[in-house]
């Protein structure tokens, strides 16, 4: 009986841990990947840059980061505008009591859209 209980406890524990590990793996796979910041130190190590090259590249990397941040900000503003225009076009069609629910639906859809790993295809 003790032997059976030991194996049953092991099976339950193993099943629990395997289930938890698979849920964590799925959750990580569903999360969008964040781009890693490119640093002058990385380039210096990987390209064996001289100090003068590293100094010049630092400012270029800062400029690149600023441009990417501006693009992200523009994207967020454009997305907000698209949702706002859609709501403005739908409001006249809906009854007044339906409009608050539409706003909730659009807010949820916007949240899911912003969290989705949407990566545009590059032209060949």
Residue 101: pLDDT band with limits 50, 70, 90: very high
Question: Counting beta carbons within 10 angstroms of the beta carbon of residue 2, is it exposed (0 to 12), middle (13 to 18) or buried (19 or more)?
Answer: exposed
Tell me the whole-structure pTM to 2 decimals.
0.45
Residue 4 CB burial class (10 angstroms; 0-12, 13-18, ≥19)? exposed
Pair 111, 69 in one domain: yes
> What is the structure's pLDDT at 88?
92
Per-residue pLDDT, 39 = 84
> In this model, does residue 54 exceed pLDDT 80?
yes
Q: Which residue has the tokens 């002058």?
A: 40
111 and 58 within one domain: yes
Indicate if 27 and 57 belong to the same structural domain.
no
In this structure, is residue 93 part of a structural domain?
yes
Over 50: is that where the pLDDT of 49 sits? Answer: yes
Domain total in the chain: 2
Same domain, 60 and 27: no
Q: Which domain holds residue 90?
A: 50-116
Helix or strand run (H / E) with residue 72:
helix 51-90
């Amino acid at each position: 009986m003790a032997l059976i209980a030991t194996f049953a406890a092991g099976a339950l524990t193993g099943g629990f841990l395997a289930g938890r590990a698979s849920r964590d793996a799925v959750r990580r796979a569903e999360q969008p990947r964040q781009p890693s910041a490119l640093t002058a130190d990385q380039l210096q190590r990987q390209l064996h840059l001289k100090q003068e090259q590293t100094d010049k590249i630092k400012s270029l990397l800062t400029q690149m980061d600023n441009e990417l941040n501006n693009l992200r900000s523009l994207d967020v503003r454009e997305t907000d505008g698209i949702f706002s225009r859609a709501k403005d076009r739908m409001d006249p069609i809906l009854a007044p009591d339906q409009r608050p629910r539409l706003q909730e639906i659009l807010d949820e859809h916007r949240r899911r859209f912003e969290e989705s790993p949407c990566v545009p295809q590059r032209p060949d």
